Structure 1
Amino acid sequence: MTNSPGQLGIGPESGNILGDGGSNRNDEKQVEFTEVAIVDEEDIPPDGGLAAWLQVVGSYFLYFNTWGTINMFGVFQTYYENDLLRHMSPSAISWIGSLQSFLLLAVGVISGPLYDAGHLRLLLFSGWALVPLGMMLISVCTAYWHVMLAQALCVGTGAGCLYIPSVAIIPQYFSRRKALAMGVVTSGSSFGGVVYALVFQSLLPRVGFAWAARAMGFASFATLSVSVLVLRRRTPPPAGVRPLLDLRAFRERPYVVYCLGISLSYVAFFVPIFYLQTYALSHGLGGQTVGLYLVAILNAASVVGRLSPSLIANRIGPVQTLLISVTLAGVTAFSWINTSTGGGNIAFAIFFGFFTGGIVALPAVVLTSFTPDLSRLGTRLGMSSMLNGIASLIGTPIAGAILSSTGNYLGIQLFAGFLFLATSVFIVVLRFVLTGRKLVAKA
Structure 2
Amino acid sequence: MSKYAKDGQAAAEASDQSLVLEDEKYPEGGLRGWLVVLGAWCAMIPSMGLLNSLGILHAWTSTHQLHGYSESSIGWIFGAYGFFLFVASAQAGPIFDAYGPFYVIVPGSIGIVTSLICFSFSEEYYQIFLSFSVLGGLSACTLFTPPVSCVGHWFNVRRAYATGIACTAGGVGGVVFPLIILFAAPKVGFPWAIRIIALLSAVLCICACILLKPRLPQNKAAGASISFEALKDIRYAATTVAVFFVEFAIFIPLTYISSYAVHVGTNDTLSYALIVFLNLGAVPGRFLPGLFADKLGRFNVMVLTSLICAVLTLGVWLTAGENITAIICYAVLFGFWSGAAISLGPVCISQVCETKDYGKRSGTTFTIVSIGTLTGIPIAGAIQQRDGGKFDWLIVFGGLLYVVATVAFIIARGICAGWSLRVKF
The normalised TM-score by structure 1 is 0.88
SS of the residue 2:65 aligns to: coil
User: Corresponding residue for 1:360?
Assistant: 342
Partner letter of residue 320 of structure 1? Answer: N
SS of the residue 1:168 aligns to: helix
Conserved? CA contact 1:170–1:178, under 8 Å:
yes
Percent sequence identity is 26
Q: 1:241 to 1:389 in 2, by over 3 A?
A: closer
Conserved? CA contact 2:97–2:220, under 8 Å:
no
Matching of residue 350 in structure 1 with residue 305 in structure 2: no
Q: 2:284 aligns with which of 294, 304, 307?
A: 304
Q: 2:183 aligns with which of 195, 202, 210?
A: 202
SS of the residue 1:142 aligns to: coil
Partner letter of residue 326 of structure 1? Answer: S
- The superposition leaves residues 70-117 of structure 1 with CA deviations (integer Å, 9 ceiling, x where unpaired) of 110111111111111102112211211111110110000111111111
Task: Write the distance in 1 (CA, Å) between the matches of 2:268 and 2:366.
Answer: 38
Moved more, 163-172 or 317-326: 163-172
User: Corresponding residue for 1:414?
Assistant: 396
User: Corresponding residue for 2:225?
Assistant: 244
User: Corresponding residue for 2:238?
Assistant: 257
- The superposition leaves residues 384-418 of structure 1 with CA deviations (integer Å, 9 ceiling, x where unpaired) of 01111111100010000000111211111110111
Task: Write the distance in 2 (CA, Å) between the matches of 1:83 and 1:94.
Answer: 15
User: Corresponding residue for 2:408?
Assistant: 426
Q: 1:401 aligns with which of 370, 382, 406?
A: 382
Could you tell me how far 1:355 is from its partner in structure 2? 0.8
Conserved? CA contact 2:240–2:349, under 8 Å:
no
Q: 1:317 to 1:254 in 2, by over 3 A?
A: same
User: Corresponding residue for 1:15?
Assistant: none
Could you tell me how far 1:286 is from its partner in structure 2? 2.2
Task: Write the distance in 1 (CA, Å) between the matches of 2:160 and 2:421.
Answer: 23
- The superposition leaves residues 215-248 of structure 1 with CA deviations (integer Å, 9 ceiling, x where unpaired) of 1111111111100011111122134463523333
Task: Write the distance in 2 (CA, Å) between the matches of 1:102 and 1:239.
Answer: 27
User: Corresponding residue for 1:289?
Assistant: 269
User: Corresponding residue for 2:319?
Assistant: 338
Q: 1:84 aligns with which of 65, 86, 90?
A: 65
Moved more, 64-73 or 238-247: 238-247
Q: Which is bigger in relative contact order (C-alpha 8 A, separation at least 6)? A: 2
Moved more, 263-272 or 104-113: 263-272
User: Corresponding residue for 1:280?
Assistant: 261
Partner letter of residue 325 of structure 2? Answer: G
1:370-389 correspondence to structure 2 within 5 Å = 370-371=352-353, 373-389=354-370
User: Corresponding residue for 2:156?
Assistant: 175
Conserved? CA contact 1:266–1:395, under 8 Å:
no
Conserved? CA contact 1:116–1:242, under 8 Å:
no
User: Corresponding residue for 1:436?
Assistant: 418
Partner letter of residue 209 of structure 1? Answer: F
Task: Write the distance in 2 (CA, Å) between the matches of 1:402 and 1:185.
Answer: 35
User: Corresponding residue for 1:5?
Assistant: none
Could you tell me how far 1:131 is from its partner in structure 2? 0.3
Q: 1:239 to 1:75 in 2, by over 3 A?
A: closer
Task: Write the distance in 2 (CA, Å) between the matches of 1:241 and 1:270.
Answer: 30
User: Corresponding residue for 1:186?
Assistant: 167
Conserved? CA contact 1:328–1:355, under 8 Å:
yes
Conserved? CA contact 1:303–1:354, under 8 Å:
yes
Could you tell me how far 1:375 is from its partner in structure 2? 1.1
Task: Write the distance in 2 (CA, Å) between the matches of 1:43 and 1:382.
Answer: 27
Matching of residue 135 in structure 1 with residue 139 in structure 2: no
Partner letter of residue 427 of structure 1? Answer: F
Partner letter of residue 142 of structure 1? Answer: E
- The superposition leaves residues 107-130 of structure 1 with CA deviations (integer Å, 9 ceiling, x where unpaired) of 001111111111421101111100
Task: Write the distance in 2 (CA, Å) between the matches of 1:243 and 1:164.
Answer: 13
Task: Write the distance in 2 (CA, Å) between the matches of 1:43 and 1:236.
Answer: 17
Could you tell me how far 1:64 is from its partner in structure 2? 0.9
Aligned residues: 402
User: Corresponding residue for 1:60?
Assistant: 41
Task: Write the distance in 2 (CA, Å) between the matches of 1:338 and 1:357.
Answer: 23
Q: 1:108 aligns with which of 89, 95, 103?
A: 89
Q: 1:301 to 1:439 in 2, by over 3 A?
A: closer
Task: Write the distance in 2 (CA, Å) between the matches of 1:106 and 1:97.
Answer: 14
User: Corresponding residue for 1:314?
Assistant: 294
Conserved? CA contact 2:413–2:419, under 8 Å:
no
Could you tell me how far 1:366 is from its partner in structure 2? 1.1
Q: 2:206 aligns with which of 210, 222, 225?
A: 225
SS of the residue 1:233 aligns to: coil
Q: 1:42 to 1:401 in 2, by over 3 A?
A: closer
Could you tell me how far 1:374 is from its partner in structure 2? 1.4
Matching of residue 162 in structure 1 with residue 143 in structure 2: yes
Which ranges of structure 1 fall in alignment gaps of 5 or more residues?
1-39
Task: Write the distance in 2 (CA, Å) between the matches of 1:239 and 1:66.
Answer: 27
Could you tell me how far 1:435 is from its partner in structure 2? 1.8
Q: 1:245 to 1:144 in 2, by over 3 A?
A: closer
SS of the residue 1:247 aligns to: coil
Matching of residue 98 in structure 1 with residue 79 in structure 2: yes
SS of the residue 1:291 aligns to: helix
User: Corresponding residue for 1:23?
Assistant: none
Conserved? CA contact 2:91–2:224, under 8 Å:
no
* RMSD after superposition: 1.6
